[in-house]
Amino acid sequence: MTVMSPLALAWNPAVGVPMLVAGIIVLVLIWLFGQPRNAQGRRRVQNDTPGERREPSLGGSLADDPVFEDLDRDRAPTASAAARDAGGAGLREELEKLGASLAGQRTPSLLEPSSQAIVDALRAPAVAPQPAAAPSSPSPAPQETPTPPAAARPAPAPERPPARSSVGRRPSEWPVERIVTLFVMARDGQRFQGADLIVAAEKAGLEFGDMAIFHRLVDGKREQGPLFSVANMLKPGSFDLTRLESLSTPGLSFFMTLPGPLPALDAWDAMLPTAQRMAELLDGQVLDDERNALGRQRIAHIRDELRLWDRHHEGLPITFGR
């Protein structure tokens, strides 16, 4: 029996440590590179008919592609048949979902029927509305019933001129010895409008009457005619109130006829303030009988003439037909 030397069994760190490290490295390399690798799928060349071209399609399922068939067939042989079938079915399902997503479609099982209908409606291409198809056989046109000729209507009677108003009518037998006139003119480029004339005349105490003009009457002596009257400067001098919207004039003519129901000076003292009031209401200006500005000197001269006229006729009776 051989007896080993105690020195042979003693631990030598200088030799043991390097050997231990080398052994660990060898085991790690064996673990990393010693595992079996799965065979890579290879694309199988299809035996297509020569000269026949196969068009690519995104609408089909990727699971039908030969690459994926090889991948299913070349899975690890160590798996059991049941596990391989289950894994293949799951893989095909995932591939079908992937193919549907690439084709712009969704898996029908993931959508409710109502949601699927909405998606289909949104994906449907816009179609221009087609015109309604004409009927195959045109319906017969409705027969027009002949309309009996309308009875000839009689021609409208010519309009009669409105009856002449008696308001402000001067007695026809009174003589006319003198007429005193004033004018109220619109400013340059302007005209008096019909509606404004009516309002201003009413405020000035004038009445519309005989000859379709305005008059100032004397209370208690209305039958003796107007104290003075206001006419349109445009011929024929009347105001057509039936066409008030189109009525306009560049000026008004104030006149008093002598002799009248009152003395001439009294009639003047009534006519001048009325003309000034109308000019104020219509934004016009008062002019004398020669259409010049009416100043104080001219007013004083007219008053002197009328005072003299009254003196000549004071106490004299009015001679009709003179």
CB atoms within 10 A of CB 213: 21
Higher-confidence residue: 213 or 34? Answer: 213
Those residues with Cβ within 8 angstroms of residue 309's Cβ, 6 or more apart along the chain or in another chain: 178, 258, 264
To the nearest 10 degrees (0 to 180), the angle between helices 81-102 and 66-73 is 160
Average pLDDT in the 56-61 region?
50
- In this prediction, residue 106 has a pLDDT band, given cuts at 50, 70 and 90, of very low
Residues 211-261: tens digit of each pLDDT: 999 999 998 888 888 999 999 999 999 999 999 889 999 999 999 999 999
**Residue type at 2?**
T
Cα–Cα nearest to 272, from 252, 293, 249, 299:
299
Cα–Cα nearest to 278, from 206, 228, 211, 225:
206
Rounded distance, CA 310 to CA 264, Å? Answer: 6
Question: Beta strand 248-249 with 192-193: parallel, antiparallel or unpaired?
Answer: antiparallel
Residues 260-286: tens digit of each pLDDT: 999 999 999 999 999 999 999 999 999
Residues 138-164: tens digit of each pLDDT: 555 556 665 655 556 666 665 555 556
Cα–Cα nearest to 256, from 302, 298, 193:
302
To the nearest 10 degrees (0 to 180), the angle between helices 194-203 and 264-282 is 130
Residue 60 vs residues 97, 104, 117, 168: alpha-carbon distances, Å: 11, 11, 22, 108
What spatial distance separates the first Cα and last Cα of the chain, rounded to whole Å? Answer: 197
- Please tell me the predicted confidence (pLDDT) of residue 84: 54
Each domain of the chain, given as residue ranges in start order, spans 61-100, 178-313
Query: Residue 182: what are its φ and ψ, rounded to 5°?
Result: -135, 160
Structural contact between residues 321 and 175, judged by C-beta atoms closer than 8 angstroms: yes
The position carrying tokens 């000035």 is 204
Q: Of the given ranges (1-5, 47-51, 114-118, 306-310), which has the lowest mean pLDDT?
A: 114-118
Cα–Cα nearest to 216, from 269, 177, 173, 175:
269
Structural contact between residues 302 and 180, judged by C-beta atoms closer than 8 angstroms: yes
Q: Is 249 helix (H, G, I), strand (E, B) or coil?
A: strand
C-alpha 132, offset from chain centre:
33
Those residues with Cβ within 8 angstroms of residue 204's Cβ, 6 or more apart along the chain or in another chain: 274, 277, 278, 281
Q: Does domain 178-313 have CATH number 3.30.1400.10?
A: yes
Provide the token pair at 257. Answer: 């006829």
C-alpha 144, offset from chain centre:
42
Average pLDDT across the chain, whole number: 74
Please say if the pLDDT value at position 119 is more than 50.
no
Can you give the length of the chain in residues? 322
- Please tell me the predicted confidence (pLDDT) of residue 25: 87
8-state DSSP, 168: T
Rounded distance, CA 268 to CA 262, Å? Answer: 10
Higher-confidence residue: 12 or 196? Answer: 196
- Please tell me the predicted confidence (pLDDT) of residue 82: 52
Ranges assigned E (strand) in the chain: 178-186, 192-193, 207-208, 214-216, 228-232, 248-249, 251-258, 284-287
Q: Of the given ranges (49-53, 161-165, 182-186, 191-195), which has the lowest mean pLDDT?
A: 49-53
Residues 59-80: tens digit of each pLDDT: 454 455 554 455 455 554 544 5
Rounded distance, CA 175 to CA 191, Å? Answer: 35
- Please tell me the predicted confidence (pLDDT) of residue 33: 76
Provide the token pair at 180. Answer: 């005193």
CB atoms within 10 A of CB 310: 17
Q: Of the given ranges (21-35, 96-110, 254-268), which has the lowest mean pLDDT?
A: 96-110
- In this prediction, residue 42 has a pLDDT band, given cuts at 50, 70 and 90, of low
Please say if the pLDDT value at position 116 is more than 80.
no
